[in-house]
Structure 1
Amino acid sequence: MVADRRDFYEILGVPRTATAEEIQRAYRTLARRNHPDVNKEPGAEDRFKDVTEAYDVLSDPKSRRKYDRFGAQWRQVPDDVEQRAGARQRASAGAGYPGQGAGFGGRGDVGEEVDLEDLLGSIFGGRPSGGGDRFGRGPVPGADTEAEITISVEDAYHGGRRRITLPGGAGGRTREYEVTIPAGVTEGQRIRLAGQGSGGARGGPSGDLYLVVHIAPHPRYKLSGRDITVEVPVAPWEAALGATVPVETPGGAVRVAVPPGTSSGRRLRLRGQGLPNPRGAPGDFYAEIRVMVPARLSDAERRLFEELATVSSYNPRGDR
């Protein structure tokens, strides 16, 4: 595919009035989507080359002006001819911003058509043909890439250094990184590794690698944002009379006061004991009570429960 035969603005999906920031944003999105290290679909590499060429031209103010003035054959126009064309047009019709195709049967937005045969005849002996560098001249930054990593709740709580291995690109070689996991990282958060994305072209800087964090299910802890919940089993008499019970948290063991008359499902909050938050308030830790009954009773336990059943007027179904 030869991108010169298509409109560069169309390739990037931006209007002709797009700002430099909009052009760069469009390029980074399309380059990431079509980079050969990321996209293995047929035609993706050709699309990546077209996107790169379009960005080369439109990101440079000088080449963009020539492209807007002379269209698909802009590379064949020497700089001094482009300047003479602009001076001639301004002299005859005032300054303007001509559209693509002026001088080739298409009209500019302002002013007269530019006759390239007249302008180039003394240099080329007629209309220009061939020549020009296919990919322009400026450096092109590499595309950003993404990868996913899975960590434990404890890793998310404490943070720290971790070595990860990621699949390679087209070469198939794996890559290893030493990654700093920030304390308090949450599900879906991205960790940026500057300069570890796809390589740039013609001396351009490499893109960034973004690691999307997933937190693995835990046998005890349940996460909701920065809040952590754990089930805490208590005996019937602890729930009825109240007790202080040990509870394990990612930050270490704590003791939780269970108020008298606590039923299953009651959540006791430990404020600020959830995941840390480097930019604000930390999450909370919740101890969710589960009243557990012995599967087998001793003779003494059975007598006590029978006595309790005799003397107690409590009816859990009648109180609803």
Structure 2
Amino acid sequence: MKYKDYYEVLRLERTATQDDIKRSYRKLARKYHPDVSKHDDAEDRFKELGEAYEVLKDPGKRAAYDRLGSEWQTGQDFQPPPNWDEGFEFSGRGNDADAQGTLDDFFEALFGRSKRSHPRAGPSPAMGQDHHAKVVIDLEDAYLGAKRSISLQMPVVDAQGHVTLQSRKLNVSIPKGVRAGQHLRLAGQGGAGAAGGSAGDLFLEIAFREHPRFHVDGRDVSIDLPVAPWEAALGAHVTVPTPDGAVEMTVPKESSRGRRLRIKGKGIPGTPAGDLYVILSIVLPPADSESARAAYDAMRQAFNFDPRARFYG
């Protein structure tokens, strides 16, 4: 997607206060309102202003947008970095479809369309807002469960009207079997209530830290396992690592590169548990000695084998 510089749209510096944003939007909105403007691109400019204002007027959305950095240029190809919003705490706004209606694909790709709202049935006006944050955990925590100390940053507006980040730490129990995308509810850890009302809740969205060995798909986990040519051809008993300790597995005879072998129930725990898929990768030993080269030559002479027999059709 293409990057949009919302500060540039509103003709503001990134150090602008919330009042600066409001004043600039009102001034430009009057100038480009389709009903009064004589500019040929007034309708598009007015829509663009509304989109920029919808993000920057909200301290939470603005702080999240600012986390993407200031080095991007309008129209530049852009992809948010993985887990760019890790540890970023913001208050829920509910299913505000009308407010979201003017926003385009760029905004939705960053923040989603009400995807993290947890609306309550008949909330009290004095009840505190629910808060939301993404936390990134190790895959092993989902297998075994864990207790972790997490750091969160919540955007607030200071006395000068600037958006700043307020930090806090929480001790969290990660339940065994948690999945990526699942939300953990921490009761009473959201926004404070008013006039004696109860505090809102904090919903933590779980994501997995990238693992050097394992790949996750729902509850299923996969791993690329290197095997020798003779293990693939003749069959072998091998040891396979899992996030919950090693297991033994049989490689069937005449296995080819890329073959997927399933170990039932060794994925992320649950009811039912996921499976572990072992994908075979055949690794050739190096021909780095006289004896190794002689072994390769003997193999060449022993087999009537053309690896490109079907390659040319």
Q: TM-score, normalised by structure 2?
A: 0.56
Given the alignment of the two structures, is residue 317 of structure 1 paired with residue 303 of structure 2, yes or no?
A: no
Find the counterpart in structure 2 of residue 210 from structure 1: 203
Q: Pick from 261, 266, 273 the counterpart of residue 268 of structure 1.
A: 261
Moved more, 256-265 or 298-307: 298-307
Q: Pick from 198, 202, 220 the counterpart of residue 213 of structure 2.
A: 220
Q: Distance in 1 between matches of 2:226 and 2:137?
A: 27
Aligned residues between the structures: 192
Q: Distance in 1 between matches of 2:264 and 2:143?
A: 15
Find the counterpart in structure 2 of residue 111 from structure 1: none
Find the counterpart in structure 1 of residue 291 from structure 2: 300
Q: Pick from 273, 280, 284 the counterpart of residue 275 of structure 2.
A: 284
Q: CA deviation at 1:295?
A: 2.7
Q: Deviations over 1:269-311 (max 9, x none)?
A: 100000011xx21110011111111233432232222222112
Given the alignment of the two structures, is residue 161 of structure 1 paired with residue 154 of structure 2, yes or no?
A: no
- Consecutive unaligned residues in structure 2, runs of 5 or more: 1-54, 64-90, 95-123, 159-164
The residue correspondences of 1:104-253 to structure 2 (distance < 5 A) are 140-170=126-156, 172-253=165-246
Q: Distance in 2 between matches of 1:193 and 1:182?
A: 13
Q: Distance in 2 between matches of 1:301 and 1:260?
A: 24
Q: Distance in 2 between matches of 1:305 and 1:139?
A: 78
Q: CA deviation at 1:181?
A: 0.7
Partner-residue secondary structure (3-state), 1:294: coil
Find the counterpart in structure 2 of residue 69 from structure 1: none
In the alignment, residue 303 of structure 2 is paired with which amino acid? S
Q: Structure 1's 40 and 262: CA in aligned 2 closer, same or farther, altered over 3 A?
A: closer
Q: Higher RCO, 1 or 2 (CA under 8 Å, sep at least 6)? A: 2
Q: Deviations over 1:93-119 (max 9, x none)?
A: xxxxxxxxxxxxxxxxxxxxxxxxxxx
- Consecutive unaligned residues in structure 1, runs of 5 or more: 1-32, 42-47, 52-137
Find the counterpart in structure 1 of residue 101 from structure 2: none
Find the counterpart in structure 2 of residue 54 from structure 1: none
Asked whether the 8 Å contact 1:139–1:202 carries over to 2, the reply is no
Q: Structure 1's 300 and 205: CA in aligned 2 closer, same or farther, altered over 3 A?
A: same
Q: Distance in 1 between matches of 2:233 and 2:136?
A: 41
**Which has more radius of gyration?**
1
Asked whether the 8 Å contact 2:287–2:293 carries over to 1, the reply is no
In the alignment, residue 259 of structure 1 is paired with which amino acid? P
In the alignment, residue 180 of structure 2 is paired with which amino acid? E
Q: TM-score, normalised by structure 1?
A: 0.55
In the alignment, residue 190 of structure 1 is paired with which amino acid? H
Q: Distance in 2 between matches of 1:293 and 1:227?
A: 29
Percent identical among aligned pairs is 41
Q: Distance in 1 between matches of 2:180 and 2:279?
A: 22
Q: CA deviation at 1:37?
A: 7.2
In the alignment, residue 183 of structure 2 is paired with which amino acid? R
Q: Distance in 2 between matches of 1:301 and 1:256?
A: 28
Q: Distance in 2 between matches of 1:37 and 1:206?
A: 20
In the alignment, residue 205 of structure 2 is paired with which amino acid? V
Partner-residue secondary structure (3-state), 1:274: coil
Q: CA deviation at 1:220?
A: 0.7
In the alignment, residue 184 of structure 1 is paired with which amino acid? G
In the alignment, residue 274 of structure 2 is paired with which amino acid? G
Q: Distance in 1 between matches of 2:168 and 2:282?
A: 49
Q: Distance in 2 between matches of 1:243 and 1:223?
A: 26
Asked whether the 8 Å contact 2:287–2:296 carries over to 1, the reply is no
Q: CA deviation at 1:182?
A: 1.2
Asked whether the 8 Å contact 2:286–2:292 carries over to 1, the reply is no
Structure number with the higher helix fraction is 1
Q: CA deviation at 1:36?
A: 7.8
Q: CA deviation at 1:244?
A: 1.1
In the alignment, residue 294 of structure 1 is paired with which amino acid? P
Q: Distance in 1 between matches of 2:297 and 2:248?
A: 32
Q: CA deviation at 1:40?
A: 6.3
